[in-house]
Amino acid sequence: MKSKQNRIIKKLLLTLCFAITAIPLLAQHSHEHNHDYRKIVFPDVPGYYTLSTDLHIHTVFSDGSVWPNIRSEEAIRDDIDVIAITDHLEHQPHEEDIPNPDRNRSYNIARESIPDDSDLIVINGSEITREMPPGHSNAIFVEDANMLLQDDYMVAFQEAKNQDAFVFWNHPNWTSQRKDGIARLTDLHRQLIEDEMLHGIEVVNEYTYSEEALQIALDYDLTILGTSDIHGLIDWEYDVHHNGHRPVTLVFSEERTKESLKQSLMDGKTVVWSNDFLIGHEPFLVPLIEESLELSEIGYIGDTSVLNVKITNHSSSKYILENKSNFTLHQHQDVLTIEPMSVEVLNIKTLERVDSIELPFEVLNAVTAPDQHPQIAFDIDIE
């Protein structure tokens, strides 16, 4: 009897130990199957849809590590609207294992793998891969990538133009081609811009941000872009399970179509989001921030002259705001952070009860040019 009791006790202890061990695993499993935490969310702005895009992506059909359908699945999990498959034309390190006579193949696989209930848009593209100059460039919205595989890179650029592609300069600050990490235009790039064969430039590539590339974009009216340039897994490269995110280009498009998207890219209607940092032209960057932050529950606390305002952040980006008003804050310093998808309550000392105030902020984690931060202002009516 005693031996049987010992066996029962032993089984119970083993069961208990297993249950305790399984708790974190179950929690992790639940987290992995709840994809809301990883979704990249930004509001639409007046007159435009805000489309999140990643326009520089690789698969095993060049030097990437995953099959093209994985790229579509990652984008769907991240709630991204558009991706471009941009495998290298010339650089084919896996060709012994994966012969690639058709440079459109990775795009076709990615596009065909999209489930019927998904709105993901996949764009056909290629990376023209050369030494400097011109370096590496992506041509997207191409009709036939095979036609861009040319010995003469100028013929490749001309073919991209013939196919009405949108072409942008990749990682112009890449230390493999710029030892000092400084993006600089060459005479060849100026010629490509003049001949309307180069339309944009990456100011963000993977983890790097180039102020010099941003200045080039401003000086030469090039579209501002940020991309993941992903080769491995998004989850691993950007530590998604610990609140990491890939960089994206937010494109402000009149319609959710490839045609409208391409026109907006040609017109430079973009903002880049990377590592909780926003980069873009003021006419699009400021409305995006203003639509992200909603004010509510406005009113004075009791019979005081301290005004209560609730700010809700409806976006995936945090906002670091510096108070530029004539009022001080009751519970915050002049620099405050509104976390992604969160609510913050401000108490504003207006000194006397008033019917309305203007509350301006400088957005410290956003730029419209090197070291130039945009300002937003809330006109607050008090009931």
pLDDT tens digits, 170-213: 999 999 999 999 999 999 999 999 999 999 999 999 999 999 99
Alpha carbons 199 and 55: distance in angstroms, whole number: 14
Describe the chain by its helix, strand, coil percentages, rounded to 5: 30, 30, 40
Q: From the CB of residue 211, how many other CB atoms can be counted at a distance below 10 Å? A: 16
pLDDT at residue number 330: 93
- E strand spans, 166-264: 166-169, 200-205, 208-209, 223-227, 248-253
pLDDT band at 234; cut points 50, 70, 90? very high
On whether the CB atoms of residues 238 and 281 are closer than 8 A, the answer is no
The answer to whether residue 28 scores a pLDDT higher than 70 is no
pLDDT at residue number 21: 41
pLDDT band at 110; cut points 50, 70, 90? very high
Alpha carbons 168 and 222: distance in angstroms, whole number: 9
At 46, list the tokens. Answer: 């007046």
Bridge partners for 277 per DSSP: 274
Alpha carbons 227 and 174: distance in angstroms, whole number: 14
State percent of the chain over pLDDT 70. 91
Residue with tokens 């913050």: 344
pLDDT at residue number 36: 80
Domain 292-381 has CATH 2.60.40.10: yes
The answer to whether residue 64 scores a pLDDT higher than 70 is yes
pLDDT at residue number 15: 45
The answer to whether residue 23 scores a pLDDT higher than 80 is no
Alpha carbons 68 and 352: distance in angstroms, whole number: 62
What b-and-e string marks burial along 2-32, b requiring 16 or more CB atoms within 10 Å of the CB?
A: eeeeeeeeeeeeeeeeeeeeeeeeeeeeeee
Residues in the chain: 383
In terms of CATH architecture, what is 36-275? Alpha-Beta Barrel (3.20)
3-state secondary structure of 182: coil
Q: Where in the chain is the domain with CATH 2.60.40.10?
A: 292-381
- E strand spans, 87-156: 121-129, 136-140
pLDDT band at 37; cut points 50, 70, 90? confident
Q: How large is the average pLDDT for residues 285-300?
A: 97
pLDDT band at 274; cut points 50, 70, 90? very high
Q: How large is the average pLDDT for residues 313-328?
A: 97
Which of 346, 372, 218 minimizes the C-alpha distance to 286? 372
Q: What are phi and psi of 124, to 5 degrees?
A: -85, 130
Q: Where in the chain is the domain with CATH 3.20.20.140?
A: 36-275
pLDDT band at 20; cut points 50, 70, 90? very low
